[in-house]
Amino acid sequence: MSLAEEDIWKTYNSNKDPNLRNEIIIKYMPLVKHIVKKLIISDITQSEYEDLINQGVIGLIDAIEKYQPSKGVKFETYATLRIRGEIIDYLRRKDWMPRSLKKKYKKIEKTVETLQQKYNREPTVEEITEACGLNETDVLKTLSYINVSNINSLEEAIENNFKLHAISNNVELKNPEEEVLYKELKRKLASAIESLPNKERLVITLYYYEDLNYKDISKILNLTESRISQIHTKAIKRIREMLGEYF
């Protein structure tokens, strides 16, 4: 951008210059692409990928129009929530998980739990596929759906209760009561993450704090992307249970 960062929002909010808005969109397009790649683990077509990018841009534009620097939250943090929310809403509207799969959703979820108990570990996609009698594409798409739902439900709950991003440290709270609640949330969230099994804690750290996607994490841990997704889903479920009072 041609303007200094601190002047951008003051200028845009005063004149709503479409050219400046386009500059902001271009600057944050990598963020949109990054979010799409983090949300989806199953193979999608180029057309589907472009559709998700377009929805992410809609979320980005919405964030640009509604962002208020005075709230003390970084734009990237605020935009991430709006972009992700728009993509997930789109997936739900488009019935991204087909009706036929929805009927099998509980079966797959139950199968995963049964296999976890049987093997005392997270089952592989091949084991889930064999136990369910479904093809790998259906299982991967269902795991993606579970993953997206869990991420969104956790962040929505925290955002709705505290108006904050789950793992953001760039927040200035003016209300003393909100500040106390936020500090307590951070303490409980940190404690919940610390209590996770080692592999789950590592995946959560790499995904949220290091901002890596499943592909990157799978290379680091020498596991498949679907396996990383399963570990992540399990970790989020544990965290939700430990933070149950906020749901």
- Each of the 247 residues of the chain gets a pLDDT tens digit; together they read 445 666 788 888 888 888 989 999 999 999 999 888 877 765 567 888 898 999 999 999 999 998 888 777 788 888 988 898 888 888 777 765 556 666 677 777 788 888 888 888 778 878 888 998 888 777 776 776 666 666 665 665 555 544 444 444 444 545 566 567 667 777 888 888 889 999 999 998 888 778 788 888 888 988 887 778 778 888 888 888 887 766 5
**CA dist 149 → 35, 157, 222 (Å):** 14, 12, 25
The domain locations on the chain are: 1-96, 98-247
End-to-end CA distance of the chain: 40
CA 83-88-94 angle, to 5 degrees, is: 125
CATH of 98-247, one of 3.40.50.360, 3.30.1300.10, 1.20.140.160, 3.40.50.300: 1.20.140.160
Q: Provide the whole-model pTM.
A: 0.60
Residue 208 exposed, middle or buried by CB count within 10 Å (0-12, 13-18, 19+):
middle
Residue 69 CA to residue 215 CA, distance in Å, equals: 34
- pLDDT for the residue 171: 46
Q: What is the pLDDT of residue 151?
A: 63
- The answer to whether 60 and 32 have CB atoms below 8 angstroms apart is yes
Q: Closest Cα to residue 238, out of 190, 192, 189, 188? A: 192
pLDDT for the residue numbered 77 = 81
**What CATH number is given for 1-96 in this structure?**
1.10.1740.10
Which residue, among 188, 191, 186, 184, has the nearest Cα to 166 in the 3D structure? 186
Burial class (CB in 10 A: 0-12, 13-18, 19+), 36: buried
pLDDT of residue 174: 52
